[in-house]
Amino acid sequence: MKGSTVSKLAYKPVGLLLGAAAGMAAGVIFKQVWKVAGHDDDAPNATDQDRGWGEILLAAALQGAIFAVVKAAVDRSGAIGVRRATGYWPG
């Protein structure tokens, strides 16, 4: 088997687990950031009729940015771990 094929196969289950962990971590971080920002204990849902457009869109943008940063950091760390374990960069 070629090295890149081995690293891709090795990274597949690692990537799935890391992706799930990243999603959970991002959710926790977002809730804390939302509280610290002084808004509310709960972030608004898009269908919350008591919240305005600005608050809904701000929450969505913040949540998306946090998720993207956490996912990128976790994916990058996982790829580095696979390279250390296999000698090959997954991808």
Domain residue ranges in the chain: 3-86
Q: What is the structure's pLDDT at 7?
A: 62
23: helix, strand or coil: helix
Cα–Cα distance between 21 and 27 in angstroms, integer?
Answer: 10
**The tokens of 18 are what?**
């890391």
Q: What is the structure's pLDDT at 2?
A: 54
Cβ pair 62, 33 in contact under 8 A: yes
Q: What is the structure's pLDDT at 9?
A: 73
Q: What is the structure's pLDDT at 16?
A: 87
Q: What is the structure's pLDDT at 81?
A: 85
**The tokens of 78 are what?**
């996982």
Q: Which residues of the chain have pLDDT under 50?
A: 1
Closest listed residue to residue 85, CA positions, set 31, 7, 24, 18: 7
Output phi, psi for 38, to 5 deg: 85, 15
